[in-house]
Amino acid sequence: MNKPSLLPIKLTHMLLGLTLLAMAQISVAQQLEWNKNFKEDDDTPWEEIQAQLPPAPKDENLLPFYVGPTATQKFSIDAKSLAIGTDGVVRYTMVAVSQGGAKNISFEGIRCASFEKKIYALGRDDGSWSPSRRNQWEPVVRSKVNRQHAALTMDYFCGNLTIMGNEKDMLQRIKSGRTLTDDLLKE
């Protein structure tokens, strides 16, 4: 009986190994080329631009968004106010309505790069704004209650500390109820 030759199998394994090695080298070269445009230690400090207060929100421009099963209020953002600043801050007007009908309006910003939020001003009944006393950046809290900022940040605006898309993309996600996580699961 003739034994089958192992030469073709060894040759196949060797070619496969060389192919994988070549692909790894190409991948490393591409990553180095892509990274060369970025400074590792960027010493430029972040500067926030002066936020411009938007007009008071109108009911027809409000887009509700899902916060979670424990939410005791309904939350919406004013589609006309959503803007991404040159400083990398996503600014918007939020409207929160309690079960009893009380309405709170706030002009806010989310900074994806640091996972922080800021309340710039609070809306008055006459459509004017009152500057917030807490006009400072604070971490976005990921809890089961009071998670409206976490919902906006993680579901519609940011991914991996980066702004995900433009205003049109964000508004489309909110309108459709399709979150960034839904987009990942779809791929």
Model confidence pLDDT, tens digit, residues 78-99: 999 999 999 999 999 999 999 9
Q: Report the mean per-residue pLDDT for the chain.
A: 85
> Is residue 56 a part of any domain in this protein?
no
Model confidence pLDDT, tens digit, residues 141-152: 988 777 999 999
User: What does the alpha-carbon distance between residue 5 and residue 2 come to, in Å, rounded to a whole number?
Assistant: 9
Number of independent structural domains in the chain: 1
Rg over alpha carbons for the chain, rounded to the nearest Å, is 25
| Domain ranges, residue 93 | 61-186
Q: Write the CA distances from 157 to 4, 61, 111, 113, 173, integer angstroms.
A: 60, 18, 9, 11, 9
**Lookup: tokens for 76:** 């919406």
> Is residue 142 a part of any domain in this protein?
yes
For residues 152-159, average pLDDT: 95
Task: Report the percent of the chain where pLDDT is more than 90.
Answer: 65
> Is residue 65 a part of any domain in this protein?
yes
Phi and psi for 106 in degrees, rounded to 5?
A: -145, 145
**Lookup: tokens for 170:** 């964000």
pLDDT band at 36; cut points 50, 70, 90 = very low
pLDDT band at 70; cut points 50, 70, 90 = confident
